[in-house]
Structure 1
């Protein structure tokens, strides 16, 4: 089969184990067996009627039954209520594995290590093939309490990229900026040379739709960090480092000169749509697939002649390019609670999703319905997915249960198949060229460490965000207040937080 990603190679190796175990089938229990699950993803409550999970039931005889109210869309609130009541389902799926691990270390989730060794050959083979993925599953006490929902991290790390208005560059006879100085000069030209041609100085050279990440991405283009990160094997806190000071001074200057949206922290999530549809925005750092889609928006193209929004390489700064937002290796996962009646059947069900069939339906849905194969065996999505009325392909797939959070492996080819080809090309370019700044691994804490780090980190994050915004907006003088800011961080327990994170990182690397 052509164009397989790196993950798919493992399934040929483990298929034999699956066939031997199931004697040609995936059946786990002789009779239909109901297993309860608490799972909410992006406000969407698990639905046992989704075709993907109906197919899994048909294969395994394990039927998942969602618990809790269909109106309860906050997964943390639902999780906390279940824990407080003591009435836990058999399986919990959560975006926050630290909570599952904390619950596990307190006896609420069962360790999966021995169950995997004895009853999950597919998961075991997957972990043997990808030790980094196994590290992500191991808690601070050495036990595995959940199976992560893995991104296809080895095939695709890029998540977001730097975009710029190519039609504005063309109108002003400007080249694509290469260095940070050139990027700054381009933003100045966007501000002063009326590229939208309306005779008004209303252009917004750089804008962001996420106030949550605005500082991170602006500073990150300079290689600065706003939180904990790893330099070599040493954990550091970005705001205390020289690069942060360099970058912040530049961003303050850019904002003062009107090169950054003056409402960047308040405009809201719809700012990208507003800036582009009104021909006001010049550049942003945002998700590849959704941002690229504006180039194919008929209404926008009719309104803004020659509109073209293209991804460019991050500006070269002190000899390197930085794309400050990347995919992590996983996001959440699921585990088995201590009250589950048949953990062996459940771990076998978890293992199903790492089989060739489970891997396929979790990423593509049902063959003949949501996807088909071409003459070379390559999968592609059907018109039901690609040409749905008033729904994006991803929305159609989600309505079938595709990519709902389970412990499993994502196939990047699925995303490539429904996404914009140009977006995929740019994502692969960012990954291949090494622009991506890998985030620090998701660290695992002991119960005691977790209590300390959560309290300190919350206060550190709030303080950094508060001061970053004050400095950028000009409400506080950076040079006059920076030393006091560092003192404040230290008083909040920065040294202890660095120490805890260093211990957790060292433990992670040895796991």
Structure 2
């Protein structure tokens, strides 16, 4: 999975009044960077970064499969040897980084740098409280690689610059053309041929195929009982293996990166409170009742789904994943991508999250750190494209090969190990990505398949006009939104999983909407609307 990870943001937009930062940034306004501790003998250029060994405390989110300690990985050890900087990794589950970050800021026990976990507006909000420092001057002094990308990539400086004109975080590039389309539905082509069907283009066709997958022995075990027509996980466990792609058949985008807010007829809506959401959940419950959906879909984790997907012979008729191999390993070669499915009312919309192609929020440095210069130099090193591709796939000879013609080739995994698991044990997997912009890579087949699917199947159905842009809120609005939204989200998630597995959405829908209103949904929508209106009035 190449993700800009699978997490719930604390808000699409955060504090916007530049004058709030006057007090917080006065110490940095003169341009003189705070000197690192003399004891480590800092070098402004070249290697090592420090003449004496030093430790940098860095926050990073881990996926469940990342079980090998990061400092045991060859590429991480090589960077440590080159820089003389050892990383003390402060980690949290990738799908729950917010909780850990909130606790750290509340307690004051902060790392030297957040390698991920924050957005540009969130970094600005913490800066307004004096907790995060601007880094633009540090970048100019110590980070030629990062500065080069900012200067030469159209729109990147604008993405990173906060309303006060300062930069508080670095960036991530989508590491593939398809980065903004995480969820894709994969279907077993051999099973399709056996039942005399082609890849579906409508929800009704897909439903009929699922019924056939349930009723016929298609994997040769003598019974259809072991076959699972459709498998997925709940989006809180992995957004890219979830049911989010089905909502577009009922007219809702469900962009988790935007906290499920969208724009409809120039007005902000929260899609979990729409008829499209309701109708999708009812359809998923129908699949669950009829045994067409994995009965463990909303309680299983990634590892459990992968164990099923790797069974021989295959037991999945279809499943949701980033790449086919993520869930099914070697079985992935039997599956083809299904494009957006047309729903009963003619809706056909891709589950699109545009922020994934180019976003900020990386390399955030708290004001409490006295190692900001060291952190920026270490960060700049991992942005170097040749280092970056190894941080994403593994060291040269383990995960990546540089060929004589200058092409970088992703190496196949060891026998019996999936490509995704190998990547997660050989590299940090999802550092800030830069290599796609400047390196010629020989993409593996699953990359090529997904890029082709985007061009041929998904581009006509991107909900461009529905996507909520990134914007900033006033401090008062942000504080009110932060007080309201977490409870709304938690309640919605509870009902979502409950309704798919137990039904009763029709009977309980009115009470659900009443509870959302009672919990502050109208105020949350109004806050987002003001932010959008302010953005459009500039």
Which residue of 2 is the match for residue 351 of structure 1? Answer: 380
Tell me the CA shift for residue 204 of structure 1: 3.6
Relative distance call for 1:251 and 1:77 in structure 2 (3 A) is: closer
Greater shift, 32-41 or 489-498, is seen at 32-41
The answer for unaligned runs of 5 or more in structure 1 is 1-24, 298-306
SS in 1 for 2:364: strand
Whether contact under 8 Å (1:28, 1:348) holds in the other structure is: no
Which residue of 1 is the match for residue 448 of structure 2? Answer: 425
Relative distance call for 1:290 and 1:308 in structure 2 (3 A) is: closer
1:161 to 174, 184, 202: 184
Which residue of 1 is the match for residue 520 of structure 2? Answer: 493
Relative distance call for 1:453 and 1:428 in structure 2 (3 A) is: same
Whether contact under 8 Å (2:321, 2:327) holds in the other structure is: no
The answer for unaligned runs of 5 or more in structure 2 is 1-44, 255-259
Tell me the CA shift for residue 491 of structure 1: 1.6
Whether contact under 8 Å (1:206, 1:283) holds in the other structure is: yes
Task: Map Cα deviations across residues 432-457 of structure 1 (whole Å, 9 max, x no partner).
Answer: 13156676556655654444323322
1:208 to 232, 248, 262: 232
2:263 to 204, 212, 230: 230
Relative distance call for 1:114 and 1:312 in structure 2 (3 A) is: same
**Aligned equivalents of 1:77 and 1:127: distance in 2?**
30
Structure 2 residue 86 is the aligned partner of structure 1 residue 52: no
Structure 2 residue 127 is the aligned partner of structure 1 residue 108: no
Which residue of 1 is the match for residue 307 of structure 2? Answer: 273
Relative distance call for 1:46 and 1:334 in structure 2 (3 A) is: farther
Tell me the CA shift for residue 496 of structure 1: 1.7
Tell me the CA shift for residue 504 of structure 1: 4.2
Structure 2 residue 320 is the aligned partner of structure 1 residue 285: yes
**Aligned equivalents of 2:491 and 2:516: distance in 1?**
8
TM-score normalised by L of structure 2: 0.71
Residues 372-391 of structure 1 aligned to structure 2 (within 5 Å): 372-381=401-410, 386-388=412-414
Which residue of 1 is the match for residue 160 of structure 2? Answer: 137
Relative distance call for 1:425 and 1:105 in structure 2 (3 A) is: same
Which residue of 2 is the match for residue 177 of structure 1? Answer: 200
**Aligned equivalents of 1:230 and 1:502: distance in 2?**
9
Tell me the CA shift for residue 111 of structure 1: 0.9
Task: Map Cα deviations across residues 140-172 of structure 1 (whole Å, 9 max, x no partner).
Answer: 655432223443365643333111122222222
Whether contact under 8 Å (2:285, 2:503) holds in the other structure is: no
**Aligned equivalents of 1:215 and 1:484: distance in 2?**
24
Relative distance call for 1:500 and 1:243 in structure 2 (3 A) is: same
Structure 2 residue 94 is the aligned partner of structure 1 residue 66: no
Cα RMSD, aligned residues only: 4.3
Relative distance call for 1:276 and 1:168 in structure 2 (3 A) is: farther
Whether contact under 8 Å (1:151, 1:410) holds in the other structure is: no
SS in 1 for 2:317: strand
Which residue of 1 is the match for residue 26 of structure 2? Answer: none
Which residue of 2 is the match for residue 251 of structure 1? Answer: 284
**Aligned equivalents of 1:106 and 1:157: distance in 2?**
32
Which residue of 2 is the match for residue 93 of structure 1? Answer: 115
SS in 2 for 1:206: coil
**Aligned equivalents of 1:391 and 1:295: distance in 2?**
9
Tell me the CA shift for residue 106 of structure 1: 1.5
TM-score normalised by L of structure 1: 0.74
Which residue of 1 is the match for residue 62 of structure 2? Answer: 42
SS in 2 for 1:310: strand
Relative distance call for 1:203 and 1:63 in structure 2 (3 A) is: closer
Relative distance call for 1:77 and 1:338 in structure 2 (3 A) is: same
Which residue of 2 is the match for residue 457 of structure 1? Answer: 485
Greater shift, 337-346 or 174-183, is seen at 337-346
Relative distance call for 1:152 and 1:199 in structure 2 (3 A) is: closer
SS in 2 for 1:66: strand
Tell me the CA shift for residue 177 of structure 1: 1.7
**Aligned equivalents of 2:534 and 2:394: distance in 1?**
38
SS in 2 for 1:335: coil
Whether contact under 8 Å (1:139, 1:445) holds in the other structure is: no
